């Protein structure tokens, strides 16, 4: 059965995509090309050109993420930086994502096991109290 729920821990440099499935959960990585320029390149090319290059790299990074998000019905974006909110705003302005439930949550850096536990907890409905 195809997974319909996805958790994405992200910052501006990389995203870890974890599908909510029965065990074992799978986590894949998408990397941004930003931050690969050297200080020499910054001085040589000028701040304005470098800023434009970084904007294009972020747009490409977000494009890769949006292509993955389109495959799911529910998505949670989480992580320590504003990248998750920036991506959320990009998705919200695109009508193609109207049928996808997308939530944003603050989170610190995590290990792979912590990422998967976060996704599992987020998408697992709380158990109902037993009457007795």
Q: pLDDT digit string (tens) for 83-117?
A: 999 999 999 999 999 999 999 999 999 999 999 99
Q: What does the pLDDT read at residue 125? A: 84
Q: Are strands 5-10 and 14-19 parallel, antiparallel or unpaired?
A: antiparallel
Q: Render pLDDT for 31-44 as a digit per residue (tens, 0 to 9).
A: 998 654 544 444 55
The separation between CA 71 and the C-alpha centre of its own chain, rounded to angstroms, equals 14
CATH number belonging to domain 5-123: 3.30.420.60
Q: How confident is residue 131, by pLDDT bands cut at 50, 70 and 90?
A: low
pLDDT at position 38: 47
Mean pLDDT (the chain) is 87
Which neighbouring-strand residues pair with 17?
8, 28
- Rounded CA-CA distance 84/62 in Å is 10
What 3-state DSSP class applies to 19?
Answer: strand
Mind listing the pLDDT tens digit for each residue in 53-65?
A: 788 889 999 999 9
Question: Coil, strand, or helix at residue 16?
Answer: strand
- Residue 121 CA to residue 107 CA, distance in Å, equals 13
Tokens 């019905």, residue located: 73
């Amino acid at each position: 059965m195809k997974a319909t729920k996805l958790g994405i821990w992200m910052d501006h440099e990389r995203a870890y995509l974890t599908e909510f499935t029965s065990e074992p959960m799978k986590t894949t990585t998408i990397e941004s090309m930003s931050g690969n320029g050297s200080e020499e390149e910054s001085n040589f090319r000028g701040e304005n050109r470098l800023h434009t290059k970084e904007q294009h790299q972020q747009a490409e990074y977000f494009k890769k993420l949006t292509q993955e998000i389109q495959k799911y019905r529910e998505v949670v974006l989480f992580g320590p930086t504003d990248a998750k909110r920036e991506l959320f705003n990009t998705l919200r302005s695109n009508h193609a994502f109207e049928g996808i439930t997308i939530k944003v949550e603050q989170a610190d850096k995590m290990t792979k096991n912590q990422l998967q536990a976060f996704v599992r907890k987020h998408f697992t409905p709380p158990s109902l109290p037993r009457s007795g």
